[in-house]
């Protein structure tokens, strides 16, 4: 049981990292990423102007930012950041050679898996509105534009893995149901093949529509 039960008071995103390369990515993100192009893409999909919020979150090799539209709709963009280093002259350098066709295929499979789970279950997976798996795009990095889930992780709310006692049963029950469903998907597609390929056939018309915008 937690000593003090936290209340939801907005998002708890913070850029708390002492990793030198992540800090460098953050400091140079305005140069590495074309955020104006990103907002143009998002605005074209909804036909509503948007802007990027100042808060930034890192998740491994990804940068997470929130987009807010003028009608108060919120999206999340998750961008796969390039590797950033410092050359002999002390200037930063960007390396994208690590991003292979296999890397792009894995990201595409992740997106279509999210879409499949959202369509066929009650698991609160964010809706994906657009994605690009290449560094050679107007944004300058692979990205996923997705629904902003209104909530925080357990660790953000409590500062650890402490769950208020009155929520424990509900949380554990939900996690167990999610695990059973995802396990059933894994078993089915181990027999039938690539999930991304199957789901892509069903959802391809939507992406063709976005590409025409």
Give domain status of residue 159, yes or no.
Answer: yes
pLDDT at residue 2, as a whole number: 42
- Domain assignment present for 10: no
Which pLDDT score is estimated for 31?
A: 74
**Is 12 part of any domain?**
no
More confident residue, 35 or 165: 35
pLDDT score recorded for residue 195: 58
| Mean pLDDT (the chain, rounded) | 76
pLDDT confidence band for 182 (50 / 70 / 90): confident
What is the pLDDT confidence band of residue 126, given thresholds at 50, 70 and 90?
very high
| CATH classification of the domain holding 65 | 3.30.200.20
Residue 15 belongs to a domain: no
- For residue 22, is pLDDT > 70? no
How confident is the model at residue 35, as a pLDDT?
92
Distance (Å, rounded) from C-alpha 38 to C-alpha 146? 13
**pLDDT, tens digit, for every residue of 140-162?**
999 999 999 877 666 666 656 67
Where in the sequence is the domain holding 41, given as residue range(s)? 20-212
If you average pLDDT over residues 127-146, what whole number do you get? 95
Count structural domains, the chain: 1
- Weakest mean pLDDT among 15-19, 107-111, 156-160, 209-213: 209-213
Residue 42 belongs to some domain of the structure: yes
Residue 109 inside a domain? The answer is yes
Q: What is the mean pLDDT of residues 171-194?
A: 73
pLDDT at residue 131 in the model: 96
**pLDDT given for residue 17 in this prediction:** 56
Give residue 209's pLDDT.
36
In-domain check, residue 169: yes
Looking at the domain assignment, is residue 156 inside a domain?
A: yes
Kindly state the percentage of the chain with pLDDT values over 70: 64
pLDDT tens by residue, 69-117:
999 999 999 999 887 766 777 676 777 888 999 999 989 988 988 888 8
The pLDDT > 90 percentage for the chain reads 30
Q: Which pLDDT score is estimated for 183? A: 78
Q: Could you give the CA distance from residue 191 to residue 198 in angstroms, rounded to a whole number?
A: 13
Q: For the chain, give the DSSP string.
A: --SS-----S---------HHHHHHHHTHHHHS-HHHHHHHHHHHHTS-EEEEEEEEEETTEEEEEEEETTS-EEEEEEEPPEEEE-TTS-EEEE-TT--HHHHHHHHHHHHHHHHHHHHS-S-PPPEEEEE--SSSTTSS-EEEEE--S---HHHHHSSS---HHHHHHHHHHHHHHHHHHHHHHHHHHHH--HHHHHHHHHHHHHHHHHH-
**CA dihedral angle for residue 119, residue 125, residue 126, residue 132, rounded to 10 degrees:** -80
């Amino acid at each position: 049981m937690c000593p003090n039960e936290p209340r939801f008071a907005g998002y708890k995103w913070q850029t708390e990292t002492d990793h030198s390369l992540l800090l460098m990515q953050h400091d140079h993100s305005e140069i590495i990423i074309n955020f104006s192009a990103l907002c143009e893409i998002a605005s074209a999909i909804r036909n509503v102007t948007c802007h990027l919020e100042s808060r930034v979150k890192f998740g491994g090799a990804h940068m997470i930012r929130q987009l807010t539209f003028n009608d108060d709709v919120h999206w999340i963009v998750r961008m796969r950041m390039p590797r950033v280093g410092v050359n002999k002259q002390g200037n930063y350098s960007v390396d994208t050679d690590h991003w292979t066709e296999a890397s792009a295929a894995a990201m595409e499979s992740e997106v279509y898996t999210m879409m499949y789970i959202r369509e066929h279950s009650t698991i609160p997976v964010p809706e994906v509105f657009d994605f690009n798996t290449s560094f050679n795009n107007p944004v300058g990095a692979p990205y996923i534009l997705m629904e902003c889930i209104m909530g925080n992780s357990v660790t953000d709310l409590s500062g650890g893995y402490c769950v208020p006692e009155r929520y424990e049963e509900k949380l554990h029950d939900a996690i167990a149901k999610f695990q059973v469903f995802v396990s059933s998907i894994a078993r089915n597609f181990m027999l039938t093949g690539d999930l991304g390929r199957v789901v892509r056939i069903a959802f391809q018309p939507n992406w063709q529509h976005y590409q025409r915008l």
